[in-house]
Amino acid sequence: MLVTFEQALAIVKEKLSEECPKPSADILPLNQVQGRILAEGIAADRDYPPFNRSTRDGYAVRSADLRTLPATLECLGEVRAGEHFAGALGAGQCVRIMTGAPLPAGADAVVMVEHVRGEGSRPEVTRALGPFENVVRQGSEAARGSVVLRRGRRLEASEIGLLASVGRAQVRVFRQPRVAILPTGDEIVPFDQPPGPFQIRDSNAVMLAAQVAAAGGVPRQAGIARDDKEALRRLTQEGLESDLLLFSGGVSVGQYDFVGQVLDEMGGEFFVHGVAMRPGKPLLFGRLQRRFFFGLPGNPVSTYVTFALFVRPAIGMLGGATFEPPVFLRARLGKPHRQKLGLTMFVPARVETRDGDPIVNVVEWQGSGDLVGVAAANCFLVVHPDQTDLAAGEWVDVLPKGQ
Ligand code: AMP
Ligand code: MG
Q: How far apart are CA 386 and CA 341, in angstroms?
A: 6
The CA dihedral of 1, 8, 302, 179, to the nearest 10 degrees, is -120
Q: Whose CA is nearest to atom 7 of ligand 1?
A: 299
Residue 200 Cα to ligand 1 middle (Å):
8
Residue 250 Cβ < 6 Å to ligand 1: yes
| Cα–Cα distances in angstroms (integers) from residue 24 to residues 40, 152, 175, in the given order | 12, 13, 6
Is the confidence at residue 231, as pLDDT, over 90?
Answer: yes
Ligand 1 atom closest to the Cα of residue 184 is 16
What residues have CB less than 8 Å from 115, skipping those under 6 apart? 58, 125, 126, 127
Average pLDDT over residues 226-245: 96
Average pLDDT over residues 70-88: 97
Residue 251, class by beta-carbon neighbours within 10 Å (0-12 exposed, 13-18 middle, 19+ buried)? buried
Is the confidence at residue 19, as pLDDT, over 80?
Answer: no
Q: How far apart are CA 401 and CA 403, in angstroms?
A: 6
Residue 229 Cα to ligand 2 middle (Å):
13
Residue 334 Cβ < 6 Å to ligand 1: no
Rg (CA), the chain: 29
Q: Give whichever of 14-23, 75-84, 116-125 has the largest mean pLDDT.
A: 75-84
Q: Which of 299, 306, 371 to mutate to test the pocket of ligand 1 (most atoms within 8 A of CB)?
A: 299
Bigger pLDDT: 120 vs 283: 283
pTM as predicted: 0.92
* Direct distance between the N- and C-terminal alpha carbons of the chain, in angstroms, rounded to an integer: 28
Is the confidence at residue 301, as pLDDT, over 80?
Answer: yes
pLDDT digits (tens, 9 = 90+) for 153-202: 999 999 999 999 999 999 999 999 999 999 999 999 999 999 999 999 99
Beta strands 291-296 and 395-400, pairing class: unpaired
Residue 316 Cβ < 6 Å to ligand 1: no
- Confidence class for position 20, pLDDT limits 50, 70, 90: low
Average pLDDT over residues 288-309: 97
Residue 254 Cβ < 6 Å to ligand 1: yes
Element (H, E) at 380: strand 379-383
The residue among 158, 213, 215, 155 whose CA lies nearest residue 29 is 155
- Confidence class for position 49, pLDDT limits 50, 70, 90: very high
Residue 249 Cβ < 6 Å to ligand 1: yes
Q: How far apart are CA 93 and CA 95, in angstroms?
A: 7
Q: How far apart are CA 327 and CA 324, in angstroms?
A: 8
* Cβ–Cβ under 8 Å, residues 268 and 286: yes
Ligand 1 atom closest to the Cα of residue 202 is 20
Angular region, 356: left φ>0, alpha ψ -120 to 50, beta rest: left
Q: How far apart are CA 124 and CA 146, in angstroms?
A: 41
Beta-carbon-side half-sphere exposure of residue 275 (alpha carbons within 13 Å): 33
Residue 196 Cα to ligand 1 middle (Å):
15
| Cα–Cα distances in angstroms (integers) from residue 200 to residues 100, 197, 254, 353, 370, in the given order | 60, 8, 18, 37, 13
Is the confidence at residue 253, as pLDDT, over 90?
Answer: no
What letter would DSSP give residue 32?
G
Residue 248 Cβ < 6 Å to ligand 1: yes
Residue 303 Cβ < 6 Å to ligand 1: no
